[in-house]
Structure 1
């Protein structure tokens, strides 16, 4: 079972938040604080992240999606409003395409339906398995925030990155390496919001445009002054967008 935290009133609409590769549910703290008055908010950690166990890799996006379905079954939740950033967004696309009855509304932040080259992800997986998370921390965290973002926050997220289990991280890298969700985007029926960071080097806006072209009726918002972890760097804007999307009549 994935590690998770639930907050907000029982019986309220359920919002599920799935985070980025290399982070824990702490990346959603501003959104949880804002949404939990009107919604029941579930924040989970991917395999090997936070308190979630690390089965041996490699994984596939399908495996990570089925982890979330198992969590929803455990919680007794039939249908949710789902927001995912980066890897969490990839899982969200898989869920909305393969278990559409479980996803009422979908928000995809700083993510991609396909993120080649696969060789780069497999090399990163091999590196962390042999040399640990410290071997890639600087390169990874450099993509998360724009230059000039408060260094104490950057340091906090870098420290959290070092606590991620290398096997779980590597397995998730391999899931991204093998992922191509473009063929199933047309089957996503949930109302979908796509958010990109204008300065995101990991998943630039052109990748968000590909999602919008594939998902019928999807809305695209590009946030200025935002790199990859937009939920942190542009927390107020992201919170407002999610609140509007998830509480719309």
Structure 2
């Protein structure tokens, strides 16, 4: 995986070099652009590292261990993110970082918090889920894009992504849909396979990191019930609702404020974790 395509060197966080690291994950079909509205403000207090999923933006599908149909899991995506974090920290002693993600990016963050509890100091799940629906529709979508490419999804995504499909005609909406159209179908399909097999409902009670859950009141892809389920399963999780669709682009300031407030408290946790043996 690569970070910040076209905006910084690959693998280079932005923000104060001595600030806590904040890793921001995207939704399926989007790139680092999805966090553009929040990057500047969050970058005042954190080293912000955004990443692209395989086949998206600046990250090649070849970054996957095995992109063949049915092979990719969220575990694979999370391992790649952790390797990126270790790479950008320059081989330093493994340290804790903050992690926030939208949809699939949230699933990657949750997986990291479960598999590497000492590494994730605070976790934010934005318009995400413990299980993104039944397996078969994801397998079918993967087959569709492998067969026909990204064009069919560019037509249908506005209804899933945005609270108002007219957002597709705004500069932000057009840019997001252009990014979607440029995704490598093999990488997109592999991420669909990862979502097909993702179900952490039984595991989430083991999450140790302080957790914020943000749910969109107009989210059709992961309706508010998904956020409520996440908040109910993760011990001590805080739930915030925002008037937005699945990508949360309709309310960037509200998402930014919720994250900034929550993560400010997480910095003290990171310092404590860094002192653990």
**What is the TM-score when the length of structure 1 is the normalising length?**
0.95
Aligned-pair CA distance for 1:141: 2.7
Unaligned runs of 5+ in 2: 5-12, 269-277
| Residues 67-216 of structure 1 mapped to structure 2, 5 A cutoff | 67-76=80-89, 78-147=95-164, 148-149=166-167, 151-152=169-170, 153-216=172-235
Quote how far apart the aligned CAs of 1:149 are: 3.2
Q: Secondary structure at the match of 1:222?
A: strand
* Alpha-carbon distance in structure 2 between the residues aligned to 1:208 and 1:173: 20
Q: Distance in 1 between matches of 2:192 and 2:157?
A: 12
Residue 72 of structure 1 contacts residue 78 of structure 1 at CA under 8 Å; is this kept in 2?
A: no
Structure 1 contact 106–193 (Cα < 8 Å) conserved: yes
Residue ranges of structure 1 left out of the alignment (5+ in a row)? none
Q: Secondary structure at the match of 1:227?
A: coil
- Residues 11 and 43 from structure 1, CA distance in 2 versus in 1: closer, same or farther, beyond 3 angstroms? same
What is the rounded CA distance, in whole Å, between the counterparts of 1:73 and 1:156 in structure 2? 30
Counterpart-to-counterpart distance in 2, 1:196 and 1:30: 18
SS of residue matched to 2:81: helix
Matches of 1:130 and 1:103, distance apart in 2: 38
Q: Is the 8 A contact 2:158 2:168 kept in 1?
A: no
CA separation in 1, counterparts of 2:147 and 2:38? Answer: 35
Match of 1:27 in 2: 34
Query: Which SS does the other structure have where 2:167 is aligned?
Result: coil
Aligned twin of 2:7? none
Query: Which sits farther off after the overlay, 144-153 or 75-84?
Result: 144-153
The offset of 1:247, in angstroms, is 1.3
User: What SS does the aligned partner of 2:175 have?
Assistant: helix
Per-residue Cα deviation, 1:11-40 (whole angstroms, up to 9, x for no partner):
101111000000000110111111111111
Q: Does 1:228 align with 2:246?
A: yes
SS in 2 for 1:108: strand
Matches of 1:109 and 1:247, distance apart in 2:
17
